[in-house]
Amino acid sequence: MAPPATTVLVLVALARGTAVFALLAALAAAVTRTMEMAQVTTLPVLLINRLHIGMRGPFRAH
């Protein structure tokens, strides 16, 4: 498999994705009181993320 042509964009997307999930983790930690409820609090976000990935379909290179 060949490396992507725009490596900079891949690194930017990786950094942004990491920042988004770090902010979501901080928000969940501020809202929930126990570790058990943290799982319930983050479940909708993870399910929406998982469904969004499935709806886009496979990526096709041109």
On whether the CB atoms of residues 4 and 10 are closer than 8 A, the answer is yes
- Angle of helix 35-56 relative to helix 7-31, nearest 10 degrees, comes to 150
Q: What's the confidence (pLDDT) of residue 52?
A: 75
Per-residue pLDDT 10s for the chain (62 aa) are 677 778 898 899 999 999 988 998 888 888 888 888 888 888 887 888 787 776 666 666 55
Q: What's the confidence (pLDDT) of residue 54?
A: 61
